[in-house]
């Protein structure tokens, strides 16, 4: 009977280790490709290239949609900024578009862990 309890405790602890990894994986998201596209969007906006800006904005939105399969909360925060930048770029307001892209890039940075493990 004691052996069954030890085996049960081992399997439960193994299961909990998997949950700990899953809970921490959202801090390690990589948006480097979307960030690189945002840098290119800023360069095109400074040059006044409307078609290139809109094309890169669509690419960044499609790429972030593809990365959304992980149910990322960060993507849900910066995608509206990219959509607003695309809309401003279509209207020709590149100053606002650059501002939205910079706001989106700040939301792409990894979140710091505020939980210290308990008290």
Q: For 19-39, how does the pLDDT look when each residue is reduced to its tens digit (9 = 90+)?
A: 554 444 445 678 889 999 999
Per-residue confidence (pLDDT) for residue 25, from 0 to 100 = 44
Whether 101 contacts 80, CB under 8 Å: no
Mean pLDDT of the chain: 82
In this predicted model, what pLDDT tens digit does every residue of 74-89 receive, in sequence order?
888 899 999 999 999 9
Domains of the chain: 31-108 (1.20.120.660)
Q: Residue 117 is encoded by which pair of tokens?
A: 């493990």
DSSP code of 30? -
- In percent, how much of the chain has pLDDT > 90? 45
Rounded-to-integer distance, Cα 106 and Cα 54, Å: 20
DSSP code of 28? G
What string of DSSP letters covers 51-73? Answer: HHHHHHHHHHHHHHHHHGGG--H
């Amino acid at each position: 009977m004691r052996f069954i309890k030890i085996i049960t405790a081992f399997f439960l602890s193994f299961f909990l280790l998997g949950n700990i990894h899953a809970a921490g994986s959202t801090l390690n998201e990589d948006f480097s490709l979307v960030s690189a596209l945002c840098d290119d969007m800023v360069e095109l906006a400074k040059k006044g290239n409307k078609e290139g800006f809109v094309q890169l904005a669509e690419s960044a939105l499609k790429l972030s949609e593809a990365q959304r399969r992980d149910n990322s909360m960060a993507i849900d925060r910066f995608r509206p900024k990219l959509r607003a930048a695309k809309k401003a770029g279509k209207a020709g307001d590149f100053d606002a578009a650059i501002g939205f892209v910079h706001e989106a890039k700040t939301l792409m940075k990894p979140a710091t862990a505020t939980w210290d493990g308990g008290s």
